[in-house]
Amino acid sequence: MQVDGYSLEAQKKRCEAQAEFNDIDVIRYFSDEGQSGKSIEGREEFKRMIEYIEAGEKVDYIIVFKLSRFGRNTRDILEVFEKIQDYGVDLICVEDNIDTSKMGKFIMTLLGAISEMERNNIVVQTMAGRKMKASKGLWNGGQPPYGYSLVQMKDEKGKMLKINEEAAEHVRMIYDLFLNQNKGLASTAKYMNDRGYRRKPYKNNKYELFTDSFVKQVLDNPVYMGKIAYERRKTEKIKGQRDKYHTVKQEEYSLYDGLHEAIISEEMWNSVHEKRQKTGVAFEKKYSLDHAHLLSTILKCPACGASMYGNVTRCKKKDGTGYYKDEFRYVCKHRKSVDGQLCTFSKQPAQDRVDMEVFDALIDAFNNDNFIEEMKDKMNTKVDTDKQEQEMKGLQDTQRQRIREIEMISKRRDALHHEDPMYDMKYDELLVVKEEIKKLDAKIRKEIKSTASYADAVKEISNIILHWRKITDQEKTDFSKVH
């Protein structure tokens, strides 16, 4: 990944030169190639570097090209900085001329905030650039949609879309089948697959068969009528979670005339869009939401090995007086009528029959004393109780030691004047030790909880299985979710 025009190799050389200038020996390299540095999550090499330090390896410095490569928000930068400081490790940022061995935490906080502001400013500028591209009818970046390829503009910076005729013919066929032959998403995909049509490999997708989700994407994309959409999807923060984002489809977005040639007419696209708005909605479920599809995803298709899911069939009576009784069945995930994928298993076994056969076998097993004892033995062997007791004793000893440390630090701190430089240092030590005690307490509680009786768990499961026919659908659902 380039940073301000510097390739990864150039960044590495600058870091090596900085190490040589400071008489620092480089012992290991860590590089998250292609990662944005937006947050620590997903940066495997970064995590590996922290684990390397935590393992007690002799490390004095981490050298990075820019502070923005160390972390992209103030909280992340400070959190990791404080962690490496606990191990006596300092940070050097080559391009920003930062050396934390020569500056305090306040400067790091300030620099972290500046780095985050810089990143936000870059995001704003990038979005403005994308909007400008869209308004000029240029492609906004990323892989081209199915049916198009990218060509470089001669007079302007940027790329435009060019029709890939072989794939474009598939797009025209999809629109015709959906609009003029009144086929749905799944039946359109099935029609094309059954007649030997195969998708041309594009993007990173090598899958050849047509699926209902692919048909949906093609029908909903205005690019096929010669338009460039801007902000069809936005990255939005997940409420209640820090630094967690997700992509949200927007109901309203900007459309600009593209420089590329349309594959279908604007009139046809609008007609399809109108039909999609009428038919592309989730219907309200008429059956009981308490029904438990107990073996959904657990059962496997005997033909293709894919998971089988619960399905409900609800038929209206011909005389219009109501509905027949709901039929609950298990169906293969890859059955033809769902996503165009081929699976030869067309049967849909009734749920009540399959469920009872499975649970009759379980009841027979739980009525067998040997099975119960064997199950208890297997569950008990998962936990070495002697080892757990030793670990818990060690944790409790450490906790008592930390409490004594707090008392000693508090006494030393109380003896100091509040303006003494050591006063704040002792206060920081106090906070660190208190945090350690908090973590130890949580770990002890976890150990106590994990040593609960496994025999009780077996007894509880056995009791539910033996009384299976008497419990409600909701109780069955709750049981299947927990166990």
What pLDDT score was predicted for residue 215?
Answer: 92
Q: Verify that 274 and 223 share a domain, yes or no.
A: yes
In the structure, what pLDDT confidence band is assigned to residue 81 with cuts at 50, 70 and 90?
confident
Residue 186: inside a domain: yes
Shared domain check, 119 and 36: yes
Per-residue pLDDT of 263-282, as tens digits, reads 999 999 999 999 988 876 55
Domain boundary among 108, 123, 138: 123
What pLDDT is recorded for position 1? 40
Residue 201: predicted pLDDT: 74
Answer whether residue 137 shows pLDDT above 70. Answer: yes
Is position 71 within any domain? yes
The answer to whether residue 17 sits within a structural domain is yes
**Residues 272, 298: one domain?**
no
pTM higher than 0.75 for the full model?
Answer: no
CB atoms within 10 A of CB 46: 21
pLDDT at 139: 79
Is the domain of 201 the same as that of 173? Answer: yes
Of 365, 393, 426, which residue is a domain's last?
365
Instruction: Give the pLDDT mean for 420-444.
Output: 62
Comparing C-alpha atoms, which of 295, 466, 455 is closest to residue 365?
A: 466
Is the per-residue pLDDT at 3 higher than 50? no
Q: Tell me, rounded to whole angstroms, the distance of Cα 177 from its chain centroid.
A: 35
Q: Which amino acid is at 401?
A: Q
Other CB atoms closer than 10 Å to residue 279's CB: what's the count? Answer: 10
pLDDT at 61: 93
Same domain, 457 and 403: yes
Residue 421 has pLDDT above 50, yes or no: yes
- pLDDT digit string, tens, across residues 157-200: 677 889 999 999 999 999 999 999 988 888 898 899 889 899 88
> What CATH number is associated with residue 264?
3.90.1750.20
pLDDT of residue 374 exceeding 90, the answer is no
Q: Are 211 and 300 in contact (CB under 8 A)?
A: no
pLDDT, tens only, 199-256: 887 656 667 888 888 899 899 999 999 988 877 776 666 676 655 666 667 777 778 8
What's the mean per-residue pLDDT of the chain? Answer: 75
Query: Which residue type does 100 have?
Result: T
- Pair 64, 93: CB distance under 8 Å: yes
Angle between helices 212-220 and 185-194 (to 10 degrees): 110
pLDDT band at 109 (very low <50, low <70, confident <90, very high): low
CB atoms within 10 A of CB 364: 10
* pLDDT cut 90: percent of the chain above it: 13
C-alpha to C-alpha distance for 59 and 322, rounded to whole angstroms: 75
Report, as an integer, the average pLDDT of 445-449.
62
Residue 139 maps to a domain? no
Evaluate whether residue 446 is within a structural domain. yes
**Which has more pLDDT, 65 or 475?**
65
CATH code where residue 84 lies: 3.40.50.1390
Residue 292 has pLDDT above 70, yes or no: yes
pLDDT band at 379 (very low <50, low <70, confident <90, very high): low
Q: What is residue 475's predicted lDDT score, i.e. its pLDDT?
A: 63
Q: How far apart are CA 129 and CA 140, in angstroms?
A: 9
Does 129 map to a domain?
A: no
- One DSSP character per residue, 119-169 reads HHHHHHHHHHHHHHHHHTT---SSSPPTTEEEEE-SSSSSEEEEE-HHHHH
Domain-embedded: residue 406: yes
For the cut 90, the answer to whether the pLDDT of residue 395 exceeds it is no
Q: How many CB atoms neighbour CB 304 within 10 A?
A: 15
In this structure, are 384 and 408 located in the same domain?
yes
Q: Comparing C-alpha atoms, which of 23, 196, 59, 83 is closest to residue 435? A: 83
The residue type at 212: D
Closest by CA position to 298, among listed 352, 362, 344, 354: 354
pLDDT at 322 over 80: no
Band (pLDDT 50/70/90 cuts) for residue 388 is low
- Return the higher-pLDDT residue of 132 and 402: 132
Residues 197 and 288 in one domain: no
Average pLDDT of the segment spanning 369-390: 61
244 lies in the same domain as 162: yes
Burial of 365 (0-12, 13-18, 19+ CB in 10 A): middle
H or E segment at 310? strand 308-313
Rounded to 5°, the CA angle 143-145-147 comes to 125
Mention every residue, 6+ apart, whose C-beta is less than 8 A from residue 326: 287, 288, 291, 312, 313, 314
What per-residue confidence (pLDDT) applies to 154? 73
Domain count along the chain: 4
More confident residue, 117 or 7: 7
Query: Using the 8-state DSSP alphabet, how is residue 181 labeled?
Result: S
Q: Residues 158, 256: one domain?
A: yes
Q: Domain range spanning residue 154?
A: 148-280
- Considering the domain architecture, whether residues 247 and 261 belong to the same structural domain is answered as yes
Spatial separation of the C-alpha atoms in residues 218 and 209, rounded to whole Å? 14
Is residue 137 situated within a structural domain?
Answer: no
Residue 114 has pLDDT above 50, yes or no: yes
Q: Provide mean pLDDT across the span 90-116.
A: 72
Whole-number pLDDT of residue 265: 94
| Res. 399 pLDDT band, cuts 50 70 90 | low
Same domain (yes/no): 289, 266: no
The closest of 343, 274, 266 to 302, measured between CA atoms, is 343
Looking at residue 383, what is its pLDDT? Answer: 47
For residues 103 and 213, give the distance between their C-alpha atoms in angstroms, rounded to a whole number: 55
Which of 309, 331, 365 terminates a domain? The answer is 365
Percent of the chain with pLDDT over 70: 58
Residues 219 and 254 in one domain: yes
